[in-house]
Structure 1
Amino acid sequence: MRAAEELFAQGAPPQGQPPQYMPGPTPGPAVPAQAASAPTAKEKKRQEKEAKRKAKAAAKAKPGKSEDAAAPAAAGERFDVPRPGGRLSGGRATHVAARMTAMVTVSLLALGAVGVMAYSAGHPAPVETGITDEQVSQFRLTSFPVERAIAFADRYARLCANQNPEQAEQRRQAIARLSSSGVDTTCGWDGKGSQVVAYSVWSGYMEPIAEYPQHGYYIGIQVQLTTGALRTLSVPVWVEDLKSGNGMRVVGDVGTLPQPDQATAPAVKDPLQVDSELSGDLQGKLFADFFTSWGSSNGTTLTRYVAPGASNAARAGLRGALDSPKVSDVKVLLPKGVSATDGHKWKVDDVTWARVSVQWKTGGAHVTERYRVQIVLTDQGWFVKDIRAGVPDEAGGKAPTS
């Protein structure tokens, strides 16, 4: 504390802080510390004289001016410094404390300003987050406009895969409009033979282009021809403006990627335990009527078969996309750990799943589809709570022709 007081008395900031301009009078040099003792008669007289002088100076000061402004002569005045642990006497203690607080505050603000200026001078600088490139790709921590780039790559892949000698020049010009100057505008085609694309879709493949960091990716587009042949083309796409997705170009020639490997799927570990009696009961009493109403999205009749709070899928229906349903098979699953031979008794509020096969009419043909239907038992019987499409194959393995 004493070191700080001496520095303050000399008009210098504490060590480690830049010098600051402080308006107002500057205190004079400190006097040696004196022992705290009762004032003598001479000292009392001096203090009384000083009090009168300050009162007279304050009376002469103009309104709105501080005591320091009214008494400039006090700038070089000496004042007592107490011993360590002591206190300054009179109004001087408040004055010095305020001055010290002001000096420290201004110094801290200055340091803050210097810090902001230093950051601004170096911005934007890369921030080390410890996230690898693989994690950036995995969690999509990138500004690359993926969807727009995929659409662009799909358009280019279809141009390359559609081949017709009679339209070769139009095809070449269309490819040239999308690619950079060194790209083969024939897309490698020699102009002979023809093929037509039936459909195309993004394969899920993306790989950064090393020559165009952040701005370029190889994008896999799966193309199926009308002959049934399937190819996945790797299209190198560059994007100029990552924020808007504008300024795209194909910046290299395409190539064909191998198709994903196929493997033998394992069989389901735990065989399904089915309540055969309940399955047969619900096939005609619940599911036949439910699928008829669900297929046509008949809201009036659907309310008879869906539970309160049922999912949107259960309440919405197919809106006539398929019609004339016939429920051909139902398997109501028993709770986990319960065997079909246990004679399970269902209770109100029990919830389970049923696997249902339904034959639909579509146009002039029939198609059989399978569903997972969640049902709940209430006081009034079983009701549909949710429905989801698709049922897993319990046997696993591979089809005989694959």
Structure 2
Amino acid sequence: MARRSTVQHDPRIAGEPELSARLDTADFDAPPPRRPRRGGWSGGGGRWLVWTGRIILWALIVVVVVNGIRAPFERFTRQEVAAPNGAVQEQHGFPVERGMAFAAQFAGVYLNFNPDDATSRSSKLAAFLAQGMDPQMGWDGFGKLAAVAVQAYDLKASDANNAVVSVAFQSGPRRMLLSVPIYYSGDDAGERFVVSGRPAILPAPAPADLPQVAKPETDDAAAAELKPQLEGFFKDYADGDTAGLQRYVAAGKSLPSFGGALTFAELKEIVVPVGGATREIQAVVVWTVPNGDVPPTPDSTDPATAGGHLEQAYRLTVEKQGDKWFVADIRGAGRVAD
């Protein structure tokens, strides 16, 4: 029976490389080799910039084209041009304010006539009429007409040279309108106006319907405190007593007075809403108006010296300082709840 050799063989044999059970960590730290990418798009950043530039360029072109179309359309369709302070307001290039002033001046002459003044009227009208027009503008020389409160009311221009102006006026108890066609020569022809046709009298619109307003909740206690203060204030406010007036005016405030032009007669009504130390109140005051140059005499029964009475409504800002009320401001009341 053969025996196994007891000689141990060294695994390391001379002349052969030494084997080691340890791993070299440097092999793990090294990055894997890069493979060439297939199917990619090299140089894409440049193309995106080109397309972005094209989009921006087309957007600018669209904006320019739209504005170019819209601008003339707005110029032709607008009815009025908002004018800054000091500038001439225009419709279709027609000067509105100057045209209305010309028509109102013409109406003041045209609407007033009587047989005794026919010659004078025709000579005055000549300043507004073109050559060859009827010097009396349709009036046959008979009858009478008188107009007051002549005011330019409206203007409608059809183009830069032609317009129709409405002029409001009062004749007796009636309020009416006069329609006046006028022509404007333009800037290159002296900026002149002329009546271009026969006027027309029209009825004016009726007064508007005024809705009722609710009365505010009132403070009767504050009204009782304010009444004597306001009576003294309005008396000195009418008389022009500067020193006396300051007793009723809030500290740091100064108010002008009538200086004797009117005389205080009565504080007829006072409305004081609920509030704090500063309030907006309403007062109805009765003034005595002089009868000509004669100063009015209170409680006089003589018509020559009694004067007339006129009711006026005021809105006052009052402030309570300590235990008294003082006036900080006074102005027209506007609409007062009845």
Category of TM-score, reference length = shorter chain: 0.5 to 0.7
* Alpha-carbon separation, structure 2, partners of 1:194 and 1:322: 37
Higher helix share: 1
* Alpha-carbon separation, structure 2, partners of 1:141 and 1:195: 33
Question: How much does 1:362 deviate?
Answer: 0.6
TM-score, with length taken from structure 2: 0.63
Higher strand share: 2
Q: Deviations over 1:200-255 (max 9, x none)?
A: 222x31111x2xx2344322222223x33332111223343569985222222211
Which structure has the bigger radius of gyration?
Answer: 2
261 and 377 in structure 1: CA distance in 2 versus 1, 3 angstrom threshold: same
**Do 1:183 and 1:251's aligned partners in 2 also have CA atoms closer than 8 Å?**
no
- 1:280 maps to 2:203: no
Question: How much does 1:381 deviate?
Answer: 2.7
Count, aligned residues? 247
Which residue, 249, 260, 268 being the options, matches 2:205? Answer: 260
Counterpart of 2:31 in structure 1 is none
147 and 301 in structure 1: CA distance in 2 versus 1, 3 angstrom threshold: farther
**Do 1:145 and 1:242's aligned partners in 2 also have CA atoms closer than 8 Å?**
no
**Do 2:89 and 2:96's aligned partners in 1 also have CA atoms closer than 8 Å?**
no
Letter in 1 for 2:333: G
* Alpha-carbon separation, structure 1, partners of 2:272 and 2:279: 7
Which residue, 84, 87, 99 being the options, matches 1:149? Answer: 99
TM-score, with length taken from structure 1: 0.54
Q: Deviations over 1:299-357 (max 9, x none)?
A: 322222222454xxx7122333322342122111124xxxxxxxxxx4xxx32111111
Letter in 1 for 2:166: G
**Do 1:307 and 1:383's aligned partners in 2 also have CA atoms closer than 8 Å?**
yes
Letter in 1 for 2:197: G
* Alpha-carbon separation, structure 1, partners of 2:118 and 2:260: 44
Which residue, 304, 311, 320 being the options, matches 1:368? Answer: 311
Q: Which ranges of 4 or more aligned residues in structure 1 deviate by more than 6 Å? A: 137-140
Letter in 2 for 1:230: R
* Alpha-carbon separation, structure 1, partners of 2:188 and 2:251: 46
Which residue, 175, 182, 203 being the options, matches 2:125? Answer: 175
Question: How do residues 4-19 of structure 1 correspond to structure 2 at under 5 angstroms?
Answer: none
245 and 324 in structure 1: CA distance in 2 versus 1, 3 angstrom threshold: farther
User: Where does structure 2 lack aligned partners over 5 or more consecutive residues?
Assistant: 1-69, 291-306
Percent sequence identity over aligned pairs:
26
**Do 2:238 and 2:257's aligned partners in 1 also have CA atoms closer than 8 Å?**
yes
Counterpart of 1:200 in structure 2 is 150
Q: Deviations over 1:338-393 (max 9, x none)?
A: xxxxxxxx4xxx32111111111112211111111111222363211211213424
Counterpart of 1:351 in structure 2 is 278
Question: How much does 1:182 deviate?
Answer: 5.6
Letter in 2 for 1:280: A
Question: How much does 1:130 deviate?
Answer: 3.6
**Do 2:89 and 2:95's aligned partners in 1 also have CA atoms closer than 8 Å?**
no
Question: How much does 1:282 deviate?
Answer: 0.8
261 and 230 in structure 1: CA distance in 2 versus 1, 3 angstrom threshold: closer
223 and 135 in structure 1: CA distance in 2 versus 1, 3 angstrom threshold: closer
* Alpha-carbon separation, structure 1, partners of 2:189 and 2:286: 47
**Do 1:220 and 1:232's aligned partners in 2 also have CA atoms closer than 8 Å?**
yes
309 and 128 in structure 1: CA distance in 2 versus 1, 3 angstrom threshold: farther
